[in-house]
Structure 1
């Protein structure tokens, strides 16, 4: 078994895609057509597991309750993590694209550089260097 997809339900798929393109250089793998003018679902290339964004009302017909992610509320108990070689540069790029800093880059005792921000929807994003013992 392998992890194939991560799907986040968001209020505005296109705005979220625009942020992840600018902040992290991700590209669109697939976008579903929509009658509403913007995509209903977008899958983005990450080099591994596909990161996807779907309209929040996609889960409503399934009867699955969820708590929407919002910038003025606490982030959900999960994060999206991107591994990079230059954490300070990637962090600065994400902030310039509209991310909100949670923690500036810092070197952890185990030798990994890590920073945190929230995306425009309020989701928590980690930017980190490879863990030295796993590299």
Structure 2
């Protein structure tokens, strides 16, 4: 059996990105390496991790597309479930997130909103299903 355990976002400043997620969403820091080039947050069963762009370049010799706050987000999102989508959206904006889509209620009853984090990664903030 394969288990999805973590996602890694490639960012310019690991500490700054982790502090954003702590302040905007209330996640707790798991650890940051002494060199500040990799860190993890406790987010539930799946760990959200961060690596510096420079560290990522050592792993991916052909390079990659860097995320930036400007322009459209990548065609992938991180999803956070909460009972209070409006409050979490507002808190994220206050901490520096960029609003993409304000909260709407989908036909199936789920409330969904979107922001980009300080590095430009797309985050869905949504109510639980069912």
Indicate whether the TM-score tops 0.5: yes
What secondary structure is seen at the aligned counterpart in 1 of 2:48?
A: strand
* Structure 1 residue 14: Cα displacement: 1.1
Equivalent pairs counted in the alignment come to: 128
Could you tell me how far apart the structure 1 residues matched to 2:72 and 2:110 are?
Answer: 26
Aligned counterpart, 2:12: 11
Mark the runs of 5 or more structure 2 residues left unpaired by the alignment. Answer: none
Question: In structure 2, which of residues 87, 91, 94 is the aligned counterpart of residue 96 of structure 1?
Answer: 94
Aligned counterpart, 1:42: 39
Could you tell me how far apart the structure 1 residues matched to 2:46 and 2:27 are?
Answer: 12
Aligned counterpart, 2:51: 54
Mark the runs of 5 or more structure 1 residues left unpaired by the alignment. Answer: none
* Structure 1 residue 49: Cα displacement: 0.3
Could you tell me how far apart the structure 2 residues matched to 1:93 and 1:64 are?
Answer: 37
Aligned counterpart, 2:103: 105
RMSD: 1.0
Could you tell me how far apart the structure 1 residues matched to 2:103 and 2:71 are?
Answer: 23
Structure 1 consecutive aligned stretches of length 4 or more whose deviation exceeds 4 Å? none
* Structure 1 residue 73: Cα displacement: 3.0
What secondary structure is seen at the aligned counterpart in 2 of 1:85?
A: coil
Aligned counterpart, 2:76: 78
